[in-house]
Amino acid sequence: MYADKYSRRVKLDPGSLTLALLLNGTIVAGLIAFAAPTMFTRIADPGIDVINIPLPPPPPPNPPMPEVKNKAATPKETAAIPDTVVPTPPVDHPYVAPPTPPGPLGGTIDGGFVTPVKPAPVLIGAEIDKRFANGFQPEYPPGERRDGHEGRVTVRVLIGTDGRVKQVERVSAASDAFFAATQRRALEKWRFKPATRDGAPFEVWRTMSVSFVMKDED
């Protein structure tokens, strides 16, 4: 009778049972963790492996250039050429130079300065004076006429500032008699208009030729 009385009073409380189980589980878990700490060891992060790649060594510097010493220039031997003087024959008809074209502002530039251009002189050669043209033919040498000889004479004459012949030079002649007759006539009778430079007369050489031809007399 008593046994049934106590048996009906004792009842299991669900809430108390749950609490008891939680407490017991906590204790058991603590014992396990204390006994075996390695079971809960945290795995470390392996991270990133850094590998240093060696760089190629820099190229060696260029070797210094060898110093080149300037060698003194050896003068070349040159053969001495003697100066040759070539005589220039006198000009029979003076050359009249063409006018030089003017530069900027009527002159030429030299070092930044304008140098006036000097005009070339105006040259006029000697001409036969037509008033005395009939007296230029020399007299026929009698001996050459008698022998029937004909010929030609070329001479160079120096004409003075007055238009007269001052000197006669032989270039070619068929005979001495023809040259003598020509020389005599040139000094006595030949007259020229003198050569001028800018209007002023000056002496000049001129080449002249005459012919000795026999004519039939009527």
- The answer to whether the predicted template modeling score (pTM) of the entire model surpasses 0.85 is no
Q: Read off the pLDDT of each residue in 27-47 and give the average, rounded to a whole number.
A: 58
Looking at every residue in the chain, the average pLDDT score rounds to 74
Max mean pLDDT range (23-37, 107-121, 129-143): 129-143
145: burial class by Cβ within 10 Å (0-12, 13-18, 19+)? middle
Per residue in 68-95, pLDDT (tens digit) is 555 544 444 444 444 444 444 555 555 5
All structural domains of the chain with their residue ranges: 123-212
* Coarse DSSP helix, strand, coil percentages of the chain, rounded to the nearest 5 percent: 30, 20, 50
The proportion of the chain whose per-residue pLDDT surpasses 90, expressed as a percent, equals 42
Q: Which of 3-7, 137-141, 184-188 bottoms out in mean pLDDT, i.e. has the lowest?
A: 3-7
Q: Read off the pLDDT of each residue in 193-202 and give the average, rounded to a whole number.
A: 94
Give pLDDT, residue 87: 45
DSSP for residue 138: P
pLDDT at 213 over 80: yes
CATH topology of domain 123-212: TolA/TonB C-terminal domain (3.30.2420)
- Please state, in angstroms and rounded to a whole number, the distance separating the CA atoms of residues 170 and 140: 18
DSSP 172-184: EES-HHHHHHHHH
